[in-house]
Amino acid sequence: MALSTCLSQMSIALPTGIDGSSRSMIKVQSISFTEKSWSPLLKLDSKPRSLTVKTRSTICMSLQQASRTKVAVTPLELEDPKETPLNLYRPKEPYTATIVSVERIVGPQAPGETCHIVIDHDGNVPYWEGQSYGVIPPGENPKKPGAPHNVRLYSIASTRYGDSFDGKTASLCVRRAIYYDPETGKEDPSKAGVCSNFLCNAKPGDKVKITGPSGKVMLLPEDDPKATHIMIATGTGVAPYRGYLRRMFMENVPNFKFDGLAWLFLGVANSDSLLYDEEFAGYLKDYPENFRYDKALSREEKNKKGGKMYVQDKIEEYSDEIFKLLDNGAHIYFCGLKGMMPGIQDTLKRVAEERGESWEQKLTQLRKNKQWHVEVY
C-alpha cells in the first residue's frame, strides 16, 4: 500500500522556544497538482505570533503517485489502427519533413559525436515504437550520376506521440560517421558518412526527405502488460528502447498500462558516451519494481577476467536470471552494430551449455515463440 499524504494551503506558527526566542511562521502559500508537476512555495516569517493552523483546499494523494505523474498525449486516435503503419512513403516519393532541433547528447570525452534529432512530420508519417524511418540525404549519388543518394535507415527514438507528445514529430539518435586515414591518423572528409553528417549538421527549419515507416521485428508486444522485456543495446542501438520506455513510464496512454519488467543493458565506451542516461535514471528512481538499468563501459570497467567490460559480459553476469526469465516467456531485444551479435551469441551458447541446455534448440524455441527480436546494422 502506498504511503499517502494530505497537503493543503496552511499557516502554522511555531511556539516560543525554551530559550525564549521568538516564534517562526511557515506559510505554505499554494500547492497544486497538475498533469506534469507540483511544487510548494514556502516562506519563513520570524514575527512572533500565536499558534494557529488554517487549512483549506486539502488535496490527498499518495507519495508514490506524486513521483509518478505521467504526461498526457494526443491524439489518442494514434492508438486506433490495428494494422502496423508500413511504407507510407517510398524512396521515389518521399515525404519532405522539417528539422526541429539537433542536439549533441554525449559529453566531451566521448569518442565521436552523437546527436538527438527531432523531425516534424506534421502527423503525416505515423509510426509505432520500434519502427524505423528512411532518410535520403540531399545531393547526387556518386555511384549513380544523376540519381539521388540511397536511403539510410534509422531506428526511431521516440514514441508515436513524439517528443512534443502531439503526434507530429519523430526523433532519431544519430552518430556522426567520420573516417580517419590509418596512415596519417587524420580525418578524411571525403569518406565521411553522407547521411549522418547531413543530419548532425542540420539546422532548425532545414528540410529532410524521409521514407517509411518500416520494420515489424522490433515492435513492442503489448498484449500482456505484465510481460518482461530484456533490451540489449550498443550505442545508438538504444534508440527504439527509448521509445519503449517513454511509452511504459512517461506517457499517460489510457489503453496501455505497463506493470511488467523492463530491463535495459546499454554498452558504450565511457560515461560521457551514455545516451539518455538522465531519462533512464529517472525511471529507475520512480519505478524500481518495473525497471532495471545495467551499463557496460568498455573503457572504464573490467569484466571478471580483467578485460574490457562489454555488454555480453553484463549479460553473462546475470545469465541465470535472464535464462529463467526467457523460460517464463520474456521478450529479448538486440539493437546496435552487427559486431555485437557474435560475442553475445557466444556468451549465451556457453551459458546454455553450462546449464546443460542446447543453445540451438533454445534459440529455435525463442524464435518460434516470437520472443527473439534482432535489429542490427
The answer to whether the beta carbons of residues 23 and 48 sit under 8 Å apart is yes
User: Could you tell me how many residues make up the chain?
Assistant: 377
The residue from 127, 154, 283, 287 that is catalytic is 154
What are the two backbone dihedrals, phi and then psi, of residue 102, each rounded to the nearest 5 degrees? Answer: -135, 120
Catalytic site residue 375?
Answer: yes
The answer to whether the beta carbons of residues 262 and 248 sit under 8 Å apart is yes
Q: What HEC string does 184-246 produce?
A: CCCECHHHCCHHHHHHHHCCCCCEEEEEEEECCCCCCCCCCCCCEEEEEEEHHHHHHHHHHHH
The residue from 132, 155, 196, 298 that is catalytic is 155
Q: Is 320 helix (H, G, I), strand (E, B) or coil?
A: helix
Catalytic site residue 154?
Answer: yes
Q: Is 268 helix (H, G, I), strand (E, B) or coil?
A: strand
Catalytic site residue 101?
Answer: no
Largest CA distance in the chain: 90
Catalytic site residue 335?
Answer: yes
Q: How many CB atoms lie within 10 A of CB 62?
A: 13
Catalytic site residue 357?
Answer: no
β-pairing, 372-376 vs 331-336, is parallel
Tell me, what DSSP letter sits at residue 41? Answer: -
User: What amino acid positions are annotated as catalytic residues?
Assistant: 154-155, 335, 375, 377
